[in-house]
Amino acid sequence: MKLRKELWFGFSLMAIIIAGAVAMLLGAERVTNGHIGLLMLSLVVVAIMLGFPTAFTLMGMGMLFTWLAYDRDTGRTLDLMVQSAYKVMANDVLISIPLFVFMGYLVERANLIEKLFKSLHLALARLPGSLAVATLVTCTLFATATGIVGAVVTLMGLLALPAMLRAGYSVSLSAGAITAGGCLGILIPPSVLLIVYGATAGVSVVQLYAGAFFPGLMLAGLYILYTILVAKLKPTMAPPLSAEERAVALPAPLLQVGAAPQRLAVPGLLTAIKGQRNHGVPLGYLFKQSLVVFLPALVFAAAALLSHDLVTRPAAVEDSSGLVEIGADAPAGSPGGLAEPPADGGLAEPPADNGGLREPPSDGGLQEPSGSSGLAEPPGSGGVQEPPGAAAAA
């Protein structure tokens, strides 16, 4: 059986990795923890390339090399595994990760992404590179629901890549739009990577979200601008859609009242409601379709009115008419309110005859202690004398 070039390349790369790890171990004078770590990394790469699930590969390699690092102590290895699992489960921040993944799973299983992609594809049909732009916008919106890369890239690869290839888009532009849009899931909040980084580094996840939100939107805008420029300058890489591909299938009741893709929806519905062309179509159905047509305008009008009211609303003024100054209504001489102290009870000099401040008596000043006759020379000291021989030297 002849192997393909991709298999030969993969097997050759795995052989090179294993041979390098074995040569490193055999050439080392003493095997250290660094050599064991490089060996574990090599085996993780080889196991992932062989197709083993990443989660079980990392868990199995971690337990195996922990067992080797603890000198084959199974009890300590299992204790460490239980403690690590409990530490992760008891973290309040990491609890949100399975909830975000579950939210993305619900969005995927509800088929909302496919409907969103088709709606954007039809809405942006006249824009250069409309399929690639719709792919980028869908990836950006889907990234806010999942927070991971794999789910977005996988789903959009199954959904958008065949549509772009059928429309004549180049493979490089199609794959680039999917991978670039899918990688926004780790940057635009809620992002699983930011949650893990915040919990590991002890940084506030809210601040990480606030710092990554606008760069994520800026990258999405730059991707869309680049796609439009490439489709405008090189139409062969992103050809415009034909009229058949831009056509929207209308329901049968609307076709009965004369609706057509080239005809405006509002005049056709108003004519069908007030005229005789609504044969067999209930008025309730026409009113519902009219509401769907006018719904964007109604939402815009409500948002504009609410914004205008919030901006132009006068500031609330507190009513201070009921406030009364303390003591303003008290009659003169009443004990209530603040008043000046009486003039006769102010500060005054203390009386000099009984408790005032006086000079101390002159005969009670500082005196020498009894029995002291002044300072005297210590015994045996006859003053400062010159050393012997000083006179002779002089």
How does pLDDT run across 183-224, given as a tens digit for each residue? 887 888 878 888 888 888 888 888 888 888 899 889 999 999
What does the DSSP 8-state code read for residue 235? T
How does pLDDT run across 223-272, given as a tens digit for each residue? 999 999 999 998 888 888 777 767 777 777 776 676 766 667 777 777 77
Confidence at residue 392, expressed as pLDDT on a 0 to 100 scale = 47
* Token pair recorded at residue 100: 């975000």
Range 159-174 average pLDDT: 88
Angle between helices 112-123 and 150-166 (to 10 degrees): 40
* Token pair recorded at residue 307: 């914004």
136 pLDDT higher than 50: yes
393 pLDDT higher than 50: no
Pick 308 or 331 by higher pLDDT: 308
Task: Pick the range with the lowest mean pLDDT from 37-46, 278-287, 308-317.
Answer: 278-287
How does pLDDT run across 79-129, given as a tens digit for each residue? 988 888 888 888 888 887 888 778 777 877 877 888 888 888 888 888 888
Give the distance, in angstroms, between the CA of residue 277 and the centroid of all CA atoms in the same chain.
Answer: 55
Pick 252 or 296 by higher pLDDT: 296
Range 286-309 average pLDDT: 85
Confidence at residue 191, expressed as pLDDT on a 0 to 100 scale = 80
Confidence at residue 199, expressed as pLDDT on a 0 to 100 scale = 83
3-state helix, strand, coil in the chain (%, to 5): 65, 0, 35
Task: For the chain, give the mean pLDDT.
Answer: 78
How does pLDDT run across 327-385, given as a tens digit for each residue? 555 555 555 555 666 666 556 666 655 555 666 665 655 666 665 555 556 665 555 55
Q: How far apart are CA 86 and CA 99, in angstroms?
A: 18
